[in-house]
Amino acid sequence: MTETVIRKRIEILADTALVRRVTEIINRVEITGWTVLPVQSGSGRDGPWQDERVTGSNKSLVLTVASQIKAEKLASELEPILSSHGLLLTMWDVEVIRGDRF
């Protein structure tokens, strides 16, 4: 069986206008890669919402995989804007092949 290692998968739901700021922080903590996906709709504490590009309320999901140490650094760096900008940050353990890449 192929050897795997444990890393953290991190998802950050943010207003699309904040994606550049989020990815700059990811780069600053030296996480080597990320992916941005558009999000069309959802529901949360304030109820359902839909992508609305006219009013600028569209959202994106930023995905990345990192070591425990880098994941903790990222969470610490994002903490000041989590509440003030309504970001949702989740992370959990995943098994990856070629763990040295993360």
What ranges do the domains of the chain cover? Answer: 5-95
Rg (CA), the chain: 15
Per CATH, the architecture of 5-95 is what? 2-Layer Sandwich (3.30)
Q: Which segments of the chain does DSSP mark as H helices, in order?
A: 19-28, 68-82
In tens digits, what is the pLDDT along the chain, a chain of 102 residues? 789 999 999 999 999 999 999 999 999 999 999 999 988 766 666 666 565 555 556 889 999 999 999 999 999 999 999 889 989 999 999 999 987 887
**Token pair listed for 100:** 């040295």
- DSSP letter, residue 12: E
Q: How much is the pTM?
A: 0.84
